[in-house]
Amino acid sequence: MSEIVPVGGGRWLIPVDYMPGMRVPGVIYADDRLIEAVIEDKAYEQVANVACLPGIVGASLAMPDIHLGYGFAIGAVAAMDVDAGVIVPGGIGYDINCGVRLLRSNLEVEQVLPRLEEVVSDLFSTIPAGVGSEGKIKAGRADLLGVLEKGAAWAVEQGYGFSDDLDRCEEGGRMAGASPDAVGERAFKRGSPQIGTLGSGNHFIEVSAIEEVYDDRAAGAFGLEEGQAVIQMHSGSRGFGHHICADYIGVMSAAMRKYGIDVPDRQLACVPFKSEEGRSYFAAMACAANYAWANRQVLCHLVRRSLSRVFRSSAESLGLDLVYDVAHNIAKIEEHEVDGARIMVCVHRKGATRAFPPGHPDVPEEYREVGQPVLVPGDMGRNSYVLAGTEEAMRQTFGSTCHGAGRLVSRAAAKKDIRGRELKARLAERGILVRGPSDESIAEEAPEVYKDVNAVVDVVHRAGISRRVARLRPLGVIKG
């Protein structure tokens, strides 16, 4: 593709004249090898399509883990002027506030390895996982309203966690502006039994080892050190968020003609941010975001309870403290500098993570000197990373960076070509224990279906939009 040209700093430019209707250029972060995958699956076309949306400012951005998604590519970032721009459900995704949570511990890897089989088995029996999985919490209408309005705080109030967990969540684990009145009945029905469940797809619980520390100061602030066992959790808003996205795509598809909006892809159905439909979707999206934070808070409680049972010690004694909880399918109203002026924008991050710098008021006070923790899971056969946000991210990407490795192979193709039982045996030979609802669900998430997260992180680190703090390796994995 001669139209995509390297411009330095790990960036590739899609010029504004690449296709009719583009209002801003496209910028893709990648190295020479990663850009080949972007070109092969034509994810760059979605980057160009997003550049046509009304009110978009700066550039249509894509992180190095970019791959095809619904409307927006997964790994995309786009900021819309709140006065002149639109809001796009396809720019947030179906699993609203899918995100990652990291627990530290006082356990050294050498203490965990002799009991790894017991740890993984207990986690798998404790945490509901898989398609349509339901938890032990059957939230009635009043409980669910509390979840949607309070987020993670609702879970803490019910005894699922510690109050200081909330200080270490993006947005404090609660997004303002949520209105249950904007949520359809289908979402309520799906959401009621799914709080405290992992779900399916790429969701997971992973016991990991801190393999290498790159930034001693930041790692110290986060409570991380080499040889330490930590736990990652990846889940979102489950069926509740799915129905909100589906409902509002229908609403916006019908409303676009009223607002005179034309888009190059019908999956980019959108309305003005300040329209009645736009405000209603944002209020419903905030409900789903709060549901996801409550869900991860309960999952965190279940993990603590499981490890306390295995190691016969309290969560406090084991040092099972939350490091941070980040969202990577969400839209936020933020102030950013665009063309020399500070303006309010609606930043869509779909498969992208916020990466705010040292000194930013939205970074928890205990981390403010080193920057926001950024959690980047890889795959169950390679590495994951803890990064930190930077000032350069504010200048280049509206304070955003990558969220994971990024798929190379579809789930259908993975199930056709990979045998889950053989994969489990292969990983076990390397000391990585994997459990899942089925062999097929494990095959879908094989390491070879993902890009190499080490290359993805190298791109964002070199570009300066986040910096490496620590590298993790998997020990035991529960797949959804």
Task: Report if residue 432 sits inside a domain.
Answer: no
As a whole number of angstroms, the distance between CA 167 and CA 178 comes to 19
Residue 422 falls within a domain, yes or no? no
Q: What is the pTM of this model?
A: 0.97
- Decide: 87 and 281 in contact? Cβ < 8 Å: yes
Beta-carbon contacts of 68 under 8 Å, excluding residues fewer than 6 positions away, are 41, 42, 43, 46, 74
Domain containing 125: what range? Answer: 5-408+450-479
Assess if residue 134 is contained within a domain. Answer: yes
pLDDT score at 2: 55
Those residues whose C-beta lies under 8 Å from the C-beta of residue 130, and which sit 6 or more positions away, are 198, 199, 200, 436, 437, 438, 441, 480
Q: Please say if 403 is a catalytic residue.
A: yes
Contact yes or no for 89/266 (Cβ under 8 A): no
pLDDT value at 286 more than 70: yes
The proportion of the chain whose per-residue pLDDT surpasses 70, expressed as a percent, equals 100
Q: Which is catalytic among the residues 234, 301, 403, 461?
A: 403
308 within domain boundaries: yes
When pLDDT is cut at 50, 70 and 90, the band that residue 448 belongs to is: very high
Interval 294-340: pLDDT, tens:
999 999 999 999 999 999 999 999 999 999 999 999 999 999 999 99
Task: Give me the number of domains the chain comprises.
Answer: 1
User: Residue 426: which pLDDT band, with cuts at 50, 70 and 90?
Assistant: very high
In a domain, 443, yes or no: no
Tell me how far apart the 2 most distant CA atoms of the chain are, in Å. 64
Domain CATH number, residue 244: 3.90.1860.10
Whether the predicted pLDDT of 463 surpasses 70: yes
Provide, for the chain, the percentages of residues in helix, strand and coil under a 3-state DSSP scheme, each rounded to the nearest 5: 40, 25, 35
**Residues sharing a CB contact under 8 Å with residue 373, sequence separation 6 or more, in sequence order:** 102, 222, 323, 324, 326, 367, 386, 387, 388, 469
Q: How far apart are CA 148 and CA 24, in angstroms?
A: 36
Q: Give the mean pLDDT of 128-152.
A: 86
Confidence label for 411 from pLDDT (cuts 50, 70 and 90) = confident
The continuous run of DSSP H or E covering 47 comes out as: helix 43-50
Please indicate, yes or no, if residue 219 is contained in any of the structural domains: yes
438 located within any domain: no
Helix (H) or strand (E) holding 257: none
Over residues 346-402, the pLDDT tens digits come to 999 999 999 999 999 999 999 999 999 999 999 999 999 999 999 999 999 999 999
Structure tokens at 366: 């205990």
